[in-house]
Structure 1
Amino acid sequence: MTQPLAGIKVLDFSTLLPGPMCTLILAEAGADVIKLERASGDEMRGYEPRFGEDSANFALLNRGKRSVCVDLKADADRARVLALAREADIVVEQFRPGVMQRLGLDYETLARINPRLIYCSITTYGQQGPKASKAAHDLNFQAETGTLGLAAGADGAPVVPPTLTGDLAGGAYPAVVNILLALRQRDAQGRGQHLDISMTDNLFTLMYWALGNGWSSGQWPRPGQDLVTGGSVRYAIYRTADGRYLSAAPLEDRFWHRFLALIGAPALAGEPDERIVRTEVERIIASRPAAYWRRQFEGQDVCVSEVVSLEQAVQDPHFKARGIFDREVVSRDGRVMPALPVPVCASFRSDRMRVAAPTLGEHGAEIAGQAREG
């Protein structure tokens, strides 16, 4: 089966995480992604731990792309980029607003030579607004959108999240969605467009329930006090006797009643004071080790899971059976590790199971030759 993005050419000016994740997804669906790097390369190449010449992070995010070195301030290199832009379908960039315009590579300039171009700009705060030029990272995105304020520990202080939600759920994924929408619209209308992807704007979407509470009833959620922020005994984390943890989310009555029966406390279903219920559930769970509770809940419909490490999670027989770690990325010195799972269905992906990330500038001559042929 032909991949859905076969024949689509992407010029990727981005570095680090949001843009590279976006173009990785496009590449996995068949797009030809040309990564335009400065002479020193994407900063991600220098991260630790190493995987061959580059970092493991870089290899995971740039599998299957092609690399060309360019100096965007040099006239000759900029002319090369313009030549590539004439034949491109998509541009992805994540500079601050105004940078690409100063380089003469903004949407308006490129659209004059290629009206069908889809130009995706990923920024923290969008192309306009009082914060448009402000520097920030994922932790800042989450702080400024109220997300971090709802993630509090036992002492009431916000906890640093383990996932880069702003970069990925606010940046990379919306960029892919809108690029695909723009491709569909181009099919119908024949023209491309400029996509303004703001990572902070898109984080608010993830807070739909909290916004609904606040807007409809004035009940703005608080950390540790609402349904999914730790305020419910039916959606909580419980410590076991051996210092491990269970995540328990038996929200619906049928799950809740079964959960209480399995821990030996069915009478708690009729207790109206949730503080009493929580104290008793905590006591019961803390009286037995995690292994006991694994056996007790095995095969039961109660929405209870043990909190495991990432190392344990990737060994889970379910994920292995799904084959999500079967594909591989290979380094130029022959090292191999599982490729990053991406949200692209297997039917849309290449049948090549082992693919390398590009070395810096590896495809410069190849792409120059193709441009001359074109």
Structure 2
Amino acid sequence: MSKPLHGIRVLDLSRLLPGPYCTMFFADFGAEVIKVEEPNVGDYSRWEEPKVETDSAIFSSLNRNKKSVCINLKSQEGKEMFLELVKTSDVLVESFRPGVMDRLGLGYDTLSELNPKLIYCAITGYGQTGPYAQLPGHDINYLSYAGLLGLQGESGQKPALSATQIADIGGGSLMAAIGILVAIVNREKNNGKGQFVDISMMDGVLSWLQTVLPNYLADHKRPERGKLTLSGGKACYQVYETADQRYIAVGALEHKFWKGFCEGLDRPDLIDDLEAPKDRQEQMKVEISGLMKKRSLDEWMTIFEDLDTCVTPVLHVDEIEGNPQVKEREMIKSFRVSSGNELKQLGIPIKLSDTPGDVYADAPKLGEHNREILEDLGFSVEQINNIGNL
């Protein structure tokens, strides 16, 4: 059965995390994703540790199912190769600072004239416009400008960093994937016309503040770190330490779940205090913390097992693979790479009933598909073999 994105060719000029994570979804669902990499260097993430065979584990995960072509975009011959590739492509994804592709003579205006159906997606920190457009940045910077970093952590403590890159992935990768798919649908409705997709990681993560920012815009009350309901302001939505120095996550927001939690604690007197004022919430946190430290994580999970409440163990990374829900959903899968070895990878979170995604090829070696793709475009073997010297 043909995969849903079969026949879509995507050129991926991006490196590291946001762009490659976006294009990974396209590859998983059948698009031909071609990484256009700098000769002899390639995507920097190839060289990180630990390694899976010759490339890094993160590169192998993000770039599965893709192909790799080496082209020097600064050389005249390299540009000619790239332009021929653009003529055959549906989507282009890049993550340079605004203006870089224009200075190379390969900006959207030039490429769209060559290929009007091209959907050109640029993922940047701050977008193509505005006073910050040319500023450098990383995930931490986009979170700080968006106001999210200032809300993370406990009251009275400094803002806490997250263990995953929220702006890179949530504000960049996923917004880009949605933007490209919307543009593809629009192209089908509008005589094959492509367009420019401008993705700002700061914009994207700012839009995530749906439970915070609309309230502020309505009542102008500045939220405080650690005081919001969903970031530790209430006793019913907290992380508590157990007797064995493990942690338990409680999300008993609704009355029925709070009731079950209090019954598990053998503290029915707390049931009516679900919506108690802040001072009482702080008191309850102290009381519940004391109770939690009297039993181990396993003991508490046994108690709550048959109660209708939102209580879960805080798992360590080395416990995830054995989790029965992760197994059932195939979120860690094994497949055999070209060398014959078995490789474990993160699974596909988007489950389609009729045309599911799949991990069908390991990440490409640098320039592995030079001949396959460039010969098909009419370039000679000599030209292709000389790519590293262009």
Q: Same fold by TM (over 0.5)?
A: yes
One-letter identity of the residue aligned with 2:27: A
Structure 2: distance between partners of 1:259 and 1:37: 54
* Structure 1 counterpart SS, 2:81: helix
Offset at residue 348 of structure 1 (A): 3.1
Runs of 5+ in structure 1 lacking a partner?
none
One-letter identity of the residue aligned with 2:320: A
Partner of 2:316: 309
Among candidates 214, 218, 224, match of residue 216 of structure 1? 218
Cα gap change, 1:63/1:214 in structure 2, threshold over 3 Å: closer, same or farther? same
Structure 1: distance between partners of 2:371 and 2:361: 20
* Structure 2 counterpart SS, 1:274: helix
Offset at residue 372 of structure 1 (A): 2.3
Partner of 1:35: 35
One-letter identity of the residue aligned with 1:79: E
Offset at residue 155 of structure 1 (A): 5.5
Partner of 2:257: 255
CA contact (8 A) 2:65 2:360 kept: no
* Structure 2 counterpart SS, 1:68: strand
Structure 1: distance between partners of 2:355 and 2:140: 33
Cα gap change, 1:329/1:156 in structure 2, threshold over 3 Å: closer, same or farther? farther
One-letter identity of the residue aligned with 1:291: D
* Structure 2 counterpart SS, 1:58: helix
Structure 1: distance between partners of 2:24 and 2:373: 19
Among candidates 192, 195, 209, match of residue 194 of structure 2? 192
Matches within 5 A, 1:16-35: 16-35=16-35
Partner of 1:6: 6
- State the Cα deviation string for residues 122-158 of structure 1 (Å, max 9, x = none): 0000001101011101111111111111112475111
CA contact (8 A) 1:52 1:335 kept: no
Partner of 2:95: 94
In the superposition, the TM-score normalised over structure 2's length comes to 0.91
Structure 2: distance between partners of 1:180 and 1:270: 48
- State the Cα deviation string for residues 18-41 of structure 1 (Å, max 9, x = none): 111111110111100111000111
* Structure 2 counterpart SS, 1:269: helix
Cα gap change, 1:344/1:261 in structure 2, threshold over 3 Å: closer, same or farther? closer
CA contact (8 A) 1:34 1:67 kept: yes
One-letter identity of the residue aligned with 2:332: F
In the superposition, the TM-score normalised over structure 1's length comes to 0.95
Partner of 2:270: 268
Offset at residue 350 of structure 1 (A): 5.2
Structure 1: distance between partners of 2:243 and 2:155: 19
CA contact (8 A) 1:47 1:55 kept: yes
1:285 and 2:292 aligned:
yes
When the two chains are superposed, the root-mean-square deviation of aligned CA atoms in Å is 1.6
Among candidates 337, 340, 349, match of residue 343 of structure 1? 349
Offset at residue 333 of structure 1 (A): 4.4
Offset at residue 355 of structure 1 (A): 1.9
Structure 2: distance between partners of 1:269 and 1:225: 21
Offset at residue 368 of structure 1 (A): 1.2
Structure 2: distance between partners of 1:328 and 1:206: 34
One-letter identity of the residue aligned with 1:236: Q
